[in-house]
Amino acid sequence: MRRLFPVTDETAAQTRGDAEWSLAELADAYAYPEPEAGGGGPGVWLRANMVSTLDGAGQHDGRSQPISSAADMRIFGTLRALADVVVVGAETVRQEGYRPARARAEFAGMREAARQGPVPAIAVVSASLDLDFSLPLFTAPLVPTLILTGAAAAPDRTAAAEKAGARVVVAGDGVGVEPARAVQALAGLGHTRLLTEGGPRLLGQLVAAGVLDELCLTVAPMLTAGDAQRIAGGPSVGVPQRFGLVSLLEEEGFLFSRYGRS
Ligand SMILES: NC(=O)c1ccc[n+]([C@@H]2O[C@H](COP(=O)([O-])OP(=O)(O)OC[C@H]3O[C@@H](n4cnc5c(N)ncnc54)[C@H](OP(=O)(O)O)[C@@H]3O)[C@@H](O)[C@H]2O)c1
């Protein structure tokens, strides 16, 4: 992997072509900013990690795995290891068969030093709560899985979620979740380093609500054509939101960009 941007005297050593970066180097490259005011409020930082093909597809055959790579998965794992919580839409959980985050020895010391639990909590955003609560994601995580939903969610489904061991967090007055309230609710639980893994319908709402601080976007050197969803959907924002390039890494033609709110 090589760093294409920024290139300074300090980073020149990381422009090493084929050498694989250690997980510690990746964790350094993707460290959360020091606590400051993000879109979700002081001290809270919400980043998204998404992958897209050259022609803008965020999935192939309903999954992101075919457009990912080994380096992309290393960064995916590193971003999880840095986060307090992973926020994900229910459809991605259903389609990608989400499992609980697993503890990794390589990151144990880093998480302990950051006063984080062994793994980030997974927070599933859902209005219908049409989720299989018998799955390990709900029954056997290392830290309880959170369900972000609205106050009007079906009581029998919230009861089923809680019976399975999940923690239901209300972040909306109707059945749906209001993005800014979700961020605040997570911050209220002590989760300030937030990571969302999409999907596009959820990401679009986070963008529209102005609570997304950073986008870690992998550009896969692939063309898929077709009508796959792009990485953010839903109604478009009134004025395009401007983000600045923070860093750009490359391996085997895959670009790993990091854009922050300008
Ligand atoms: N390219 C990438 O990096 C990437 C990343 C992730 C996923 N994906 C792909 O994207 C596809 C799934 O994405 P998607 O956009 O269809 O779905 P999604 O955003 O993962 O999930 C949509 C679901 O989330 C819940 N939800 C979203 N907003 C909500 C709100 N405000 N309040 C309450 N619930 C809300 C609803 O769940 P309920 O229906 O349960 O109410 C909704 O049906 C999959 O094919 C996956 O492979 C790609």
Q: pLDDT tens-digit profile of 39-50?
A: 666 689 999 999
68 lines ligand 1 (CB under 6 A): no
Query: What would the mean pLDDT of 195-206 be, rounded to a whole number?
Result: 97
Could you tell me which of 59, 96, 94, 67 has the C-alpha nearest to residue 226?
59
pLDDT for 8 equals 74
| Predicted TM-score (pTM) of this structure | 0.96
- In this structure, what is the dihedral angle of CA atoms 103, 183, 36, 211, given to the nearest 10 degrees? 120
Rg of the chain's alpha carbons, rounded to an integer?
A: 18
Distance from residue 17's CA to the centre of ligand 1 (Å): 36
Q: pLDDT tens-digit profile of 77-136?
A: 999 999 999 999 999 999 999 999 999 999 999 999 999 999 999 999 999 999 999 999
Query: Given the CA of residue 178, which atom of ligand 1 is nearest to it?
Result: 31
200 lines ligand 1 (CB under 6 A): yes
